[in-house]
A = this chain, B = another copy of it.
């Protein structure tokens, strides 16, 4: 809290005129990002289009979030486990999101859009790549968001062997 206050040019005690605890800061950052993300995810789920279309949209949503909310994504990824009252709620949002993602994949397999490969492995592979974007995007200043969407979708969905 002292570091944070110094960065803002005030004393630590003055922070408590604005927030009620350190926990509250964590909660605000993580829960508001998680809710914003979830609501965009629900729009994708409800949309028309093939499973591949939806997967592409999910990739784009992650790229957008990681580039516009890099630090919030870092907090969400690294510090969600330090939430207290909201930990359960966060985990609920997260498992709904994973369940939606999984459903898109199984539907895609069912209607022959996707290979009949291990669903959990597919899900894990996409999720862990997309969740790490926040670490990687800031290091590649020169990349164009549209190109990134395209090549990330290509690599994740279509693979890279000939």
Judge whether B162 and A159 touch: CB under 8 Å: no
Judge whether B118 and A155 touch: CB under 8 Å: yes
A positions within 8 Å CB-CB of B: 52, 78, 112-115, 117-118, 120-122, 124-125, 128-129, 131-132, 135-136, 140, 147-148, 151-152, 154-162
- A136: chain B residues at CB < 8 Å are 124, 128
CB-CB under 8 A for A161 and B115, given A120-B140, A151-B121, A155-B121: yes
- A131: chain B residues at CB < 8 Å are 128, 132
The copy count of this chain in the complex is: 2
CB-CB under 8 A for A158 and B161, given A121-B151, A152-B121: yes
- A160: chain B residues at CB < 8 Å are 114-115, 117, 122, 157, 159
A108 CB to closest chain B CB (Å) equals: 8
Judge whether B156 and A114 touch: CB under 8 Å: no
A6 CB to closest chain B CB (Å) equals: 21
- A128: chain B residues at CB < 8 Å are 128-129, 131-132, 135-136
